[in-house]
A and B are shown apart, each in its own frame.
Chain A
Amino acid sequence: MRYSLGSLLLNAFTGQRHWNPAWRSPDPKPHYDVLIVGGGGHGLATAHYLAKHHQVGRIAVLEKGYVGSGNVGRNTTLIRSNYLLPGNTAFYELSLKLWEGLEQDINFNAMVSQRGIINLCHSDGQRDAYMRRGNAMHLNGVDAEWLDAEAVRALLPQFNYDNARFPIKGGLMQRRGGTVRHDAVAWGYARAASQRGVDIIQHCEVTGLKIENGMVKGVETTRGPIEAGKVALAGAGHSSQLAAMAELRLPIESHVLQAFVSEAIKPVIDHVVTFGAGHFYVSQSDKGGLVFGGDIDGYNSYAQRGNLPVVEDVMESAMALWPALGRLRVLRSWGGVMDMSMDGSPIIDHTPIENLYLNAGWCYGGFKATPGSGYCFAHLIAKDEAHPTAQQLRLDRFQTGALIDEKGVGAQPNLH
């Protein structure tokens, strides 16, 4: 049933009887034309755009847990396209544009909230870097504006201006940046893809890839073998494990990123803000909880949990920026597994195995990329050539040196 005010009213008066499952849960068929491995945001978005824009036959998404159990189900929900480097800026802008029309496209309210994101600046060098970035954004047709210290203070009077270790000297603002209700993205794409005939198969773990003569033929799963014309990997933090099934080694390390939610309170902050003198960013969810996070823990991990040093680091930055947070309490924390690439930017490309495609290396920025990633990955799978916007997100850029290293820290994933 299509979601609308009418269907909501109808159900309100009929005991909610008319709602169907948001997506079908069929048993896996023996053969698909395209198999997408990974039922997270990227995998589901890929399925949706494949089904919507390309004629590729039968599509299935295989998910080892439940739909959205990966990073799309545990992140700090930010969307933005305030990137510096060619290769990133246009790609994330495509993604942001898709966010802007997402809800009407998939008929699911994911609460895309363009409340504006502000990166705070604390030194002249940082200001120059933000100006360079802001100009790059403009050149790509992306909105960006500079806020001087007074303008920041007027917008965010609750911050520490008078006793700060690293005074706020301004900020780079992207008004179109914001937040999205993350689970709804997974569910909305799953529902939309399912309605277009995509089989979404939960609790089906891929345990092996069937490869003959350098060409992928299908997958082994916990629910039996499935043959496929094309196989697309969208395994996020577990990309290295999937690639290993094809005897591929990736320029990726898996790291843990923690995030936090406070108890729910009445609105206290209207924007997304990142602190420039420490690892901290914050926004407030519509339910009232502050959603915030910081740096990755910094060691290889698949454990989905982190440790106290980073917890404390985040809280210290929180207090340094916003001293009123002292009495507010952390309600929940979690850890997600990040596929940290060697230059901090993602990969959407063919693999050396024919008909095997890779979508990986999203670091801690995968959520905002969800629609763009799905859109470009679908294009690659369907046409066997990179979408123009994602052309630079190549796997061989590490060999050629055409890196997309926004932070300039080199082949050291825990510093990106």
Chain B
Amino acid sequence: MRLTCPYCGPRDSREFTYKGDATRIRPADDDKMFDYVYVRDNPKGLHQDYWLHQPCRNWLVVERNTATHEVTSVTAAAQREAKP
């Protein structure tokens, strides 16, 4: 699999470290923490993943199809608009 780091260009997936569902945002509300830590939509299809590009140390949000592994977009997590 190849991912296009917005800073470094297309790279082999072996340069990256994975951390799962990137639609999860750490909640301010304690009651939502359990869902954040443990529960996943786990969709078959479009999925947003966190990947760390090790060489440049940027955590990225990769939009990828879990059924085909097709990558449709990559953005830096820190550049993402904060969701309410």
- Chain A, interface SS category: mixed
A contact residues around B66 at 8 Å (CB): 254, 300-303
In the complex, the answer to whether A253 meets B18 with C-beta atoms within 8 Å is no
- Nearest Cβ in chain A — how far from B11, in angstroms? 12
Q: Among residues 1 to 48 in chain B, which have CB atoms less than 8 Å away from a CB atom of chain A?
A: 1, 12-14, 18-21, 34-35, 37-44, 47
A contact residues around B67 at 8 Å (CB): 302-303
Q: Among residues 214 to 238 in chain A, which have CB atoms less than 8 Å away from a CB atom of chain B?
A: 238
In the complex, the answer to whether B1 meets A251 with C-beta atoms within 8 Å is no
**CA A303 to CA B69, docked complex, whole Å:** 7
In the complex, the answer to whether B42 meets A253 with C-beta atoms within 8 Å is yes
In the complex, the answer to whether B19 meets A412 with C-beta atoms within 8 Å is yes
- Digitize B48-75: 1 where CB-to-A-CB distance is under 8 Å, 0 elsewhere: 0100000000000000101111000000
Q: Per a CB cutoff under 8 Å, which of B14, B21, B34 touches A253?
A: B21
In the complex, the answer to whether B20 meets A414 with C-beta atoms within 8 Å is yes
- Chain B, interface SS category: mixed
In the complex, the answer to whether B41 meets A249 with C-beta atoms within 8 Å is yes
18 new A-B contacts, CB < 8 A, other than A249-B35, A303-B66, A307-B1, are A240-B42, A241-B44, A250-B39, A250-B42, A253-B20, A253-B21, A254-B42, A254-B66, A300-B20, A301-B66, A302-B44, A303-B68, A303-B69, A309-B14, A398-B34, A411-B38, A412-B20, A414-B18
Q: Which residues of A contact B (CB under 8 A)?
A: 238, 240-241, 244, 249-254, 298-303, 307, 309, 342, 398-399, 411-414
In the complex, the answer to whether B40 meets A399 with C-beta atoms within 8 Å is no
- Nearest Cβ in chain B — how far from A2, in angstroms? 42
**CA A72 to CA B39, docked complex, whole Å:** 26
Please report the total number of B residues contacting A with Cβ < 8 Å.
25
A contact residues around B43 at 8 Å (CB): 240
Query: Can you list 26 contacts pairing A with B, beta carbon distance less than 8 Å?
Result: A240-B42, A240-B43, A249-B39, A249-B40, A250-B39, A250-B42, A251-B38, A251-B39, A251-B40, A254-B42, A254-B66, A299-B49, A300-B20, A300-B47, A301-B69, A303-B67, A303-B68, A303-B69, A307-B1, A307-B13, A309-B12, A309-B13, A309-B14, A398-B34, A411-B38, A414-B18
A contact residues around B12 at 8 Å (CB): 309
In the complex, the answer to whether B20 meets A398 with C-beta atoms within 8 Å is no
**CA A254 to CA B45, docked complex, whole Å:** 12
**CA A398 to CA B64, docked complex, whole Å:** 28
**CA A241 to CA B43, docked complex, whole Å:** 7
**CA A112 to CA B41, docked complex, whole Å:** 37
- Point out which of B19, B38, B49 has the most chain A C-beta atoms below 10 A from its C-beta: B38
B contact residues around A399 at 8 Å (CB): 34
- Point out which of A249, A299, A342, A398 has the most chain B C-beta atoms below 10 A from its C-beta: A299
In the complex, the answer to whether A240 meets B41 with C-beta atoms within 8 Å is yes
In the complex, the answer to whether A299 meets B18 with C-beta atoms within 8 Å is yes
**CA A412 to CA B50, docked complex, whole Å:** 12
Q: Per a CB cutoff under 8 Å, which of A238, A253, A307 touches B40?
A: A253
B contact residues around A413 at 8 Å (CB): 20
A398: nearest chain-B partner, CB-CB: B38
Known: A309-B12, A413-B20. A300 touches B39 (CB 8 A): no
B34: nearest chain-A partner, CB-CB: A399
**CA A175 to CA B19, docked complex, whole Å:** 37
**CA A244 to CA B68, docked complex, whole Å:** 20
**CA A411 to CA B19, docked complex, whole Å:** 10
- Point out which of A238, A411, A413 has the most chain B C-beta atoms below 10 A from its C-beta: A411
- Nearest Cβ in chain B — how far from A355, in angstroms? 22
In the complex, the answer to whether B13 meets A252 with C-beta atoms within 8 Å is no
A contact residues around B42 at 8 Å (CB): 240, 250, 252-254, 300
Which 5 pairs from chain A and chain B are nearest by CB?
Answer: A240-B42, A309-B14, A251-B38, A302-B44, A398-B38
Q: Per a CB cutoff under 8 Å, which of A300, A302, A309 touches B21?
A: A300
**CA A365 to CA B34, docked complex, whole Å:** 25
B contact residues around A301 at 8 Å (CB): 66, 69
- Nearest Cβ in chain A — how far from B33, in angstroms? 11
